[in-house]
Amino acid sequence: MATRRDVIGAAAGAMTLGAPLLGRAAPARLSAKVELFGHRGAPALRPEHTLASYARAIADGADYIEPDLVITRDGVLVIRHENNMVETTDVKTRPEFAHPKTTKTIDGEKQTGWFTEDFTLAELKTLRAVERLPAIRKANTAYDGEFQILTFEEMIDFAAAMAATRGRDIGLVPEIKHSTYFASIGQPMEDRFLNVLASHKYMNRAPVEIQSFEVNNLKYLRTRLGRPKNVRLMQLVGEGKQSPVDIPGRTFGDLTSADGMKEIGKYADVVAPPTRSVIPLGKDGKLLAPTAFVADAHAAGLLVHIWTFRPENLFLAADFRSGAPTERNTAGSVAEMRRYIAAGIDGFFSDDPGLGRLAIDGAA
């Protein structure tokens, strides 16, 4: 990816919203509006993937809410960021579940903990969610133990209920996690996922954006789904030297070259890189000039939805930090998001959709 970057220098971090992008005009946005994705709900304010997190995201103006999907031993799609539940539930405090603790290799990474595929849905329903980042988001720990693990179907019902209450459709942006791994243990996810979509009337009209860091599952879903008006496929991409687990011979840098984007465009509608692929950081931690990422994606007919903005200082570019590392910095976070909006992105994920809405509604 570095070969496509137009890095002007660290002084670029001083530019302001609305200023010229250092000789490169912002690419024309492909979408009618900048779309806001509640990343796991609103985890800056409520524990991730809980009803409270999703409700807060919707109340604060998210266009979409995100369920990350993993699977149970009895084949039910449930919502956790990872199949290892050690950081997001109270499982390690539950003596009745001491025995399922194990070590596995997931997508090439060795992990020790408790994994959803070793539990039935009934067993998972006895667990309760906890804050994943208690040292950073201490206020969220007040909600530890209040919420259970959700199934994908329960979340669809919740989104439909909130849409009916608020008089606007609430989009869903489900991520199919660890597709190759789950298939390798006899628990393929894609057809189960499609069956859930087909069984809910709300999914016939609600905006749906299906995402994965893998490639072949998205290609399979395209053949099964066709191109319904309310459904888009999103190719998530990581850092340039990393590889999708299902095509280890290629890197994300290959996939997001100008030619690679054209290949993505044959099966997906959206490409979703980390924020710094669009505007990288200099050695001083400040923003440089935008790269060619957005222009290349738009030339291939792809929307660009980036991940993820978080409001605490330690996650912000140095341009926008003020205060202690773990302190919320609302003004800095909004300013950073507006810088990226000015670079022509079509949407973004935020841990705090209320701040994301301020950034979008106040941007030129």
Q: How confident is the model at residue 224 (pLDDT cuts 50, 70, 90)?
A: very high
For residue 9, pLDDT beyond 60: no
Is 311:355 a contact under the CB 8 Å cutoff? Answer: yes
Q: How far apart are CA 344 and CA 261, in angstroms?
A: 17
Token pair 């570019």 in the structure block, residue: 317
Say which range, 23-27, 33-37, 71-75, has the weakest mean pLDDT. Answer: 23-27
Token pair 């440089």 in the structure block, residue: 288
Q: How confident is the model at residue 13 (pLDDT cuts 50, 70, 90)?
A: very low
**pLDDT for residue 22:** 45
For residue 24, pLDDT beyond 90: no
Structure tokens at 169: 């459709």
**pLDDT for residue 2:** 32
For residue 58, pLDDT beyond 50: yes
For residue 225, pLDDT beyond 50: yes
Residues in Cβ contact with 160 at an 8 Å cutoff, skipping those fewer than 6 apart:
170, 200, 202, 206
HSE at residue 115, side-chain half, CA atoms within 13 A, is 17
Element (H or E) spanning 232, and its range? strand 231-236
Residue of higher predicted confidence among 240 and 49: 49
**pLDDT digits over 333-343, tens only?**
999 999 999 99
Mean confidence (pLDDT) of the chain = 92
Report, as an integer, the average pLDDT of 153-162. 98
Q: What is the end-to-end Cα distance of the chain in Å, rounded?
A: 29
- Which residues on adjacent β-strands are paired with residue 176? 69
Closest CA to 339 of 363, 321, 356: 363
Q: How far apart are CA 123 and CA 116, in angstroms?
A: 10
Domains, the chain: 2-79+150-362 (3.20.20.190)
**pLDDT for residue 4:** 27
**pLDDT for residue 99:** 86
**pLDDT digits over 265-310, tens only?**
999 999 999 999 999 999 999 999 999 999 999 999 999 999 999 9
Token pair 């701040």 in the structure block, residue: 355
Q: What sign for the dihedral angle of Cα 45, 327, 337, 300?
A: negative
**pLDDT for residue 363:** 60
Q: How confident is the model at residue 21 (pLDDT cuts 50, 70, 90)?
A: very low
**pLDDT for residue 235:** 98
Structure tokens at 264: 């993505």
**pLDDT for residue 337:** 98
Degrees, nearest 5: CA angle 159-47-167: 20
Residue of higher predicted confidence among 255 and 18: 255
**pLDDT digits over 83-96, tens only?**
999 999 999 999 99
For residue 15, pLDDT beyond 60: no
Share of the chain above pLDDT 70, in %: 93
**pLDDT for residue 11:** 28
**pLDDT for residue 160:** 98
Q: How far apart are CA 120 and CA 73, in angstroms?
A: 5
For residue 6, pLDDT beyond 50: no
Strand runs labelled E in 62-123:
64-65, 68-71, 77-79, 102-106, 109-113
CA distances from residue 356 to 68, 241, 350 in whole angstroms, order as listed:
20, 29, 6
Closest CA to 10 of 280, 290, 282: 282
Element (H or E) spanning 123, and its range? helix 121-124
